[in-house]
Amino acid sequence: MASTLYIVATPIGNLEDITYRAVRILQQVDLIAAEDTRHTLQLLRALDIQKPLLSLHEHNEQSRVEEIYRRLQEGQDIALVSDAGTPCISDPGAKLIQALREKKCTITPIPGPSAVITALSATGFTQGGFSFLGFLPVKGKERKQLLMNIAQRSQTIVLYESPHKLIKTLQDLCDACQNPRIVVARELTKIYEEFLVDDIKNLILHFEKIPPKGEFVLIMPPDEKKEEQVTSTQEIIAFLESCKAQGIRHKQAAEQCALQMGISKKKAYEIGLDVFHR
């Protein structure tokens, strides 16, 4: 059988959050490639597993490709793990996997925890999909552009953030999105796990009083006000279309629409341009 690179998810806090299959694979492989070997050693000790380790982090990932490829060719099975959660999710591994897929290696995921899914699963904001953006760029045009995109969101947005950048990111989100509701999920699966749900301004005040500690996932549901706007535009169009079907003229329909739907005649007339003159 061809040797395999296993992508193994490990706990994001609580050591019990590891699958039977992940433990079996870590027991069976010849080598474990780890983001931080000291960190992974602690997990392996807890699982009573002894294996050779090879470091694979963002600064040496490219140069490890050939070595891992050679070992796979020699018949070794290898597990890739990161410090916590699923490798490649805001963690190293993607370059290695792309390169090994090009070389037609067998790569098998061993699913398990990831902070993004763990946080989302307990917020109730999963209808209509979500966009996971990982960490926002620290500054510059790219950050500004992403903040603008977030302000226009029609889906739930999920972000990772570190404790020392949390307040700045909450402030930027508050400015870009005009004090939206947000869920701050902290220390998931750990002793001090908490979910704070509030307007962002209140959470900024909270973290100014109690400085952020631990690990954070930020979840912003879609902007309900924007959704209402979209619905009401659709309702206006539907109203004007039914007027047109009854033979009512554009100007008169706009007047009726304004009266009935509590909007200005000008707005109803403008939306009606499309309905009556297409």
* Interacting residues with ligand SAM (CB under 6 A): 12-13, 82, 84-86, 89-91, 114-116, 160-162, 185, 187-190, 215-217
- Secondary structure class of 207 (helix, strand, coil): helix
- Rounded to a whole number of angstroms, the minimum distance from the CB of residue 5 to ligand SAM is 17
- Rounded to a whole number of angstroms, the minimum distance from the CB of residue 63 to ligand SAM is 21
Residue type (1 letter), 43: L
- Rounded to a whole number of angstroms, the minimum distance from the CB of residue 151 to ligand SAM is 21
The separation between the first and the last C-alpha atoms of the chain, rounded to the nearest angstrom, is 64
Distance CA 32, CA 50 (A): 10
Q: Is 187 or 255 the residue whose CB approaches ligand SAM more closely?
A: 187
Q: Which residues lie below 8 Å from residue 61, measured CB to CB, with a gap of 6+?
A: 92, 93, 95, 96
**Cβ-closest residue to ligand SAM?**
85
- Rounded to a whole number of angstroms, the minimum distance from the CB of residue 161 to ligand SAM is 6
Q: Is 44 or 114 the residue whose CB approaches ligand SAM more closely?
A: 114
- Rounded to a whole number of angstroms, the minimum distance from the CB of residue 133 to ligand SAM is 11
Distance CA 165, CA 188 (A): 18
Q: Are 221 and 188 in contact (CB under 8 A)?
A: no
Q: Is 61 or 91 the residue whose CB approaches ligand SAM more closely?
A: 91
Distance CA 240, CA 272 (A): 6
Distance CA 91, CA 83 (A): 8
Q: Is 83 or 198 the residue whose CB approaches ligand SAM more closely?
A: 83
Q: Is 44 or 243 the residue whose CB approaches ligand SAM more closely?
A: 44
Q: Are 47 and 18 in contact (CB under 8 A)?
A: yes
Nearest in space to 181 (alpha carbons), one of 217, 216, 220, 143: 220
- Rounded to a whole number of angstroms, the minimum distance from the CB of residue 268 to ligand SAM is 46
- Rounded to a whole number of angstroms, the minimum distance from the CB of residue 86 to ligand SAM is 4
Distance CA 103, CA 67 (A): 13
Q: Are strands 216-220 and 156-161 parallel, antiparallel or unpaired?
A: antiparallel
Q: Is 203 or 254 the residue whose CB approaches ligand SAM more closely?
A: 203
Q: Is 34 or 254 the residue whose CB approaches ligand SAM more closely?
A: 34
